[in-house]
Amino acid sequence: MASGSARRAALGTLLLVLVATACTVGSASTPASSLAEPSDWAAVRQEAEGQTVRWWLYGGDERINRYVDDHVVPAAAELGVTVERVPVTDTADAVQRVVAEVQAGETAGSVDLIWLNGENFALGKEAGLWAEDWADHLPNRRYVDPTTVATDFGVAVEGQESPWCRALFVYAHDTARTPEPLRTFDALLAYARRNPGRITYPAPPDFTGSAFVRQVVQAMGEEEAFRYLGELEPHLWQEGRTHPGSEAELDQLFADGQVDLAMSYDPSFVETGVRQGTFPETVRPFVLDHGTLNNVSYVTVPVNAAHRAGALVVADLLLDPSLQAAKADPEVLGVPTVLDLDLLPVADRERFDATTGSPYLLAEPGELLTELHVGRVERLEQRWRDEVLP
């Protein structure tokens, strides 16, 4: 498999070609004039009946797969919509498919809905890949605080994608080895000096490793952050000569007792690790006093989606309070809701009462930090490779 940076470069090249050729297509397999307007929800629902929505999403998390299969698929079926989950190892695969079909003039594309990250959204938005002016018309959107979903990694959403998951950058420690969590970067550096080789993080451009670097930048400013990362490097696992290549590798080092800190942008990763038997029951999540990186995961509809109406119905279902509560349930996923509970009717608000209390989920996320603009991410990752690696 190509590296993250190589895949990003390849996708960027394809999108630049698409922008340069100014290729545009209709938004569905039928003439645009016959499509129901997103604001006419009754017409959208009627058009969606009988459609099969091909939802392309990361397939490497079995708990998310089960959530989709056990909760989203049956709920959509009740509305006459079939959801076909198309698992991918990288969101870029789905975006590349859309690019290829748009370039070929395909007006009934094979991708109806994508779970994508901020970088791919930004690239696709610039290339005109996403259907416009639909997300704000979803009925369940009224339960979402609009100020929290106005941007995605600093890029204005403008009705081109809809939220469904909230992510928090969370750390983990094993109370049997380190009773007190390392809640500041100063404490982390001091611990690494006293305990050489017991701390590490994945190498950017791995998403988790990149997030760790971004959080240091958020806390200290870029110049001080890179001085700090350089000072930390020789005290890391393997003396910093190598880093884990992924979050999964870091989790294994942590589970094996080789390092004393794990981290993830999945706020339920400790819950998942303990349930699967990967982590011991003594592991607990925590966040830093410097603040908690957070972002929202979105779904989007390609401009040439063959089943646009069905995709809108599924996107709306993902915001349904009952499905959001199921997703927040530790027994299911334990992922925080994107809904504003104060906007919910009392009966729906009570659905979330059972989603708290697990020792393996954060009780309080702390001060939330807005993610850096997507345009800075690759530059910071390159600077890390140039200046931090030995």
Q: What is the pTM of this model?
A: 0.85
Residue 239 located in a structural domain: yes
The per-residue pLDDT string of the chain (390 residues; one tens digit each, 9 = 90 and over) reads: 334 555 555 455 555 545 444 444 444 444 443 578 988 999 999 999 999 999 999 998 898 999 999 999 999 999 999 999 999 998 999 999 999 999 999 999 999 999 998 889 999 999 999 999 999 999 999 999 888 899 999 999 999 999 999 999 999 999 999 999 999 999 999 999 999 999 999 999 999 999 999 999 999 999 999 999 999 999 999 999 999 999 999 999 999 999 999 999 999 999 999 988 999 999 999 999 999 999 999 999 999 999 999 999 999 999 999 999 999 998 898 888 999 999 999 999 999 887 667 899 988 888 889 899 888 999 999 999 999 987
> Do residues 322 and 238 both lie within one domain?
no
Q: CB neighbours of 379 closer than 8 A, spacing ≥ 6?
A: none
Residue 142 · residue 240 · CB < 8 Å: no
Q: Which letter does DSSP use for residue 165 in this model?
A: E
Residue 344 located in a structural domain: yes
> Do residues 157 and 228 both lie within one domain?
no
> Do residues 96 and 208 both lie within one domain?
no
Residue 362 located in a structural domain: no
Respond yes or no on whether the N-terminal peptide bond of residue 205 is cis (omega within 30° of 0). yes
The domain of 246 spans 170-286+369-387
> Do residues 205 and 264 both lie within one domain?
yes
> Do residues 109 and 236 both lie within one domain?
no
> Do residues 149 and 191 both lie within one domain?
no
CA-closest candidate to residue 208, choices 268, 290, 264: 264
Q: How many domains does the chain have?
A: 2
Predicted pLDDT at 359:
92
Query: Alpha-carbon distance 120 to 95, whole Å?
Result: 7
> Do residues 349 and 378 both lie within one domain?
no
Name the 3-class secondary structure at 161: strand
Query: Alpha-carbon distance 200 to 244, whole Å?
Result: 8
Query: Alpha-carbon distance 163 to 151, whole Å?
Result: 11
Query: Alpha-carbon distance 250 to 244, whole Å?
Result: 6
Residue 364 located in a structural domain: no
Query: Alpha-carbon distance 3 to 390, whole Å?
Result: 20
Residue 29 located in a structural domain: yes
Which CATH number does the domain housing residue 122 bear? 3.40.190.10
> Do residues 182 and 248 both lie within one domain?
yes
Predicted pLDDT at 84:
98
Predicted pLDDT at 376:
93
> Do residues 102 and 237 both lie within one domain?
no
